Structure 1
Amino acid sequence: MTDEFRTLFDGSTLAGWRAIPRVYGRWNPGGPAVTDLMAQYGIQTPADPEAHPAIWTVEDGAIVGRQASLGYGGYLLSEETFGDFELVLEMRPDWPADTGVMVRRQRDSWEGFQILVDHRPSGGIGGFYGNGLAGFSAVPFAIDAVLDSKGLPIGLKVDDPAASAEPVTPDKIRRLSYAAKVEDFLAVWRWGDWNELRIRCVGGALPVITTWVNGLQIAQVDTAALRSPGYDPAAVGALLGERGHIAFEVHDHDSNFGEARWGPGAACRWRNIRIKEG
């Protein structure tokens, strides 16, 4: 790994990035289409997503992502591809906003490893999800919002497992080779302010991925050793290869979460994006 970081965002334009719609692919390599599985389970998603990509702008030196009308999401994809690297950036998502950073992302399909920034009820920050990789979930904890007397969010708290829409199970934690305690995360998270996310991705086609938030190690997953239903490391490595794109996500709505996944007018913000390769 080289000693120098270089910037991936010039602070004023989207040069080096391109917006693409949130289009689902297969559930796992060679497996069924995600949309077919959603229909099977009665989950409705926005129709014709290609016609409604998310809206990406540059505002006050930050990349800002918002849904298009009708709850449509999308991605902002790097033009470059990367192998082993360390990525550092600052993020500021509204509540609720279901977003994240994808690594080893494919250019023309949705597969890749996602570092979660699910700043929403039952969300996880700094854990992992496998887009098109059998939907594996490897997360250390889940969070919810502290509400004031008017019902407005004013901070984060531990998600209540009894009321959670996506409870953190022992299996989700066991998929990690390192998992932070939620109390430690809550102590460093800055509500309504910028937070630093650091991602290290090393190890070829099946990397070890590690995350930090504001200097606190949050999670680590070894994608070669990961065990989850339908996840085949050999097939994943063959599909993704040793290089891929980086992408930011704006999630769409679905009939399960609706506006609890992305609130009306919500945005995610990214700035000071820099990378060290090798």
Structure 2
Amino acid sequence: MTLTEFDDEGFRPLFDGSTLAGWHTAPRIYGDLYPGGPAVLDMLAAQGARRPVEPEKHPAVWTVEDGAIVGRQDAPGSGYGGYLVSDESYGDFELVVEAKPDWPADTGVMIRRRRNTWEGFQVLVDHRESGGIGGFFGNGLASFSAVPFAVRGRRDASGEILGLEADDPSTSLEPVTPEKIARLRYAADVNDFLRVWKWADWNEIRIRAIGALPVITTWVNGLKIAEVDTATLDSPDYDAARVLDALGDRGHIALEVHDSDLGIGGERWGHGAACRWRNIRIKTL
């Protein structure tokens, strides 16, 4: 199908299967921590953390391979991440994508993203130790975390990762707290998720966003994972009115290659790791 054709369910492709037509790259450049708040880089400087050097020159590397969009760091192991951003913006919609991330690869789908800044809601596909899949994060929106569970690698006796299992809060890199779960209107059980997730294979992720300050719902392989109401979300420094003023009622969709931060570094994005996306399609509501 072409990018202008609709299927029987009212979806049209956002990816033609062979080019990046309809998309543009954007580097991972930080803005304010929340609308009207301090700049993230100033906050890092105050903490004595090393600031990224000219991240605007390293927007990740995005290619099309075997009918899929592939995102990698620029260059492999460099630690620089970035985004692939839709040229069009969207209000209410249902989005369906198939994802196949390497391990570890901290990726995700941003919605209602600003074109030239980093603010937006993110659906997490944190395919890594202590990663959340199907939950939510607020980029430039007070970094709120609303997640139902976290996962880690399931290893055999030799240490080889064979699949996923529930994260252990006592050893977690980023523990899922009751507060993070309580921010959701719906939270799936991690064991139900583990039954449907396909290791080293393609997984379908469905995202529905409805409302000026959207109610966002996610499904993985047909299983409802999480739902958040961003109009009533309760999280430190999150101000719904300011968020709506900053984002408006529509925005861009973006695929992510995470940078390797000072916190968990290579555990967030492995050397040479990639995320892969195909069969991307959208229906406006």
Alpha-carbon distance between aligned partners in 2 of 1:266 and 1:45, rounded to the nearest angstrom:
23
SS at match of 1:39: helix
SS at match of 1:38: helix
Deviation of the 1:4 alpha carbon: 0.4
- In structure 1, runs of 5+ residues without a counterpart are none
Aligned to 2:155: 147
Aligned to 2:278: 271
- Is this contact kept in 2: 1:209–1:222, CA < 8 A? yes
Deviation of the 1:42 alpha carbon: 4.1
- In structure 2, runs of 5+ residues without a counterpart are 1-7
Aligned to 2:29: 23
Q: What is the CA deviation profile of residues 6-36 of structure 1, one whole-angstrom value per residue up to 9, with x for unaligned ones?
A: 0000000000000111101100001111112
Alpha-carbon distance between aligned partners in 2 of 1:256 and 1:167, rounded to the nearest angstrom:
14
RMSD (Å), alpha carbons: 1.1
Moved more, 31-40 or 89-98: 31-40
Aligned to 2:267: 260
Deviation of the 1:180 alpha carbon: 0.2
Q: Give matches, 1:236-247, under 5 Å.
A: 236-247=243-254
- How many residues align? The count is 276
Q: What is the CA deviation profile of residues 202-256 of structure 1, one whole-angstrom value per residue up to 9, with x for unaligned ones?
A: 012x010000000000000000000000000000011111110000000001111
Alpha-carbon distance between aligned partners in 2 of 1:44 and 1:139, rounded to the nearest angstrom:
28
Alpha-carbon distance between aligned partners in 2 of 1:165 and 1:38, rounded to the nearest angstrom:
20
Deviation of the 1:149 alpha carbon: 3.1
Deviation of the 1:276 alpha carbon: 0.4
Question: Which amino acid counterpart does residue 76 of structure 1 have in structure 2?
Answer: L
Deviation of the 1:199 alpha carbon: 0.1
SS at match of 2:88: coil
Q: Give matches, 1:224-239, under 5 Å.
A: 224-239=231-246
Q: Give matches, 1:31-42, under 5 Å.
A: 31-42=37-48
Aligned to 2:87: 79
SS at match of 2:89: coil
Give the TM-score of the pair, scaled to structure 1.
0.97
Deviation of the 1:89 alpha carbon: 0.8
Alpha-carbon distance between aligned partners in 2 of 1:235 and 1:61, rounded to the nearest angstrom:
40
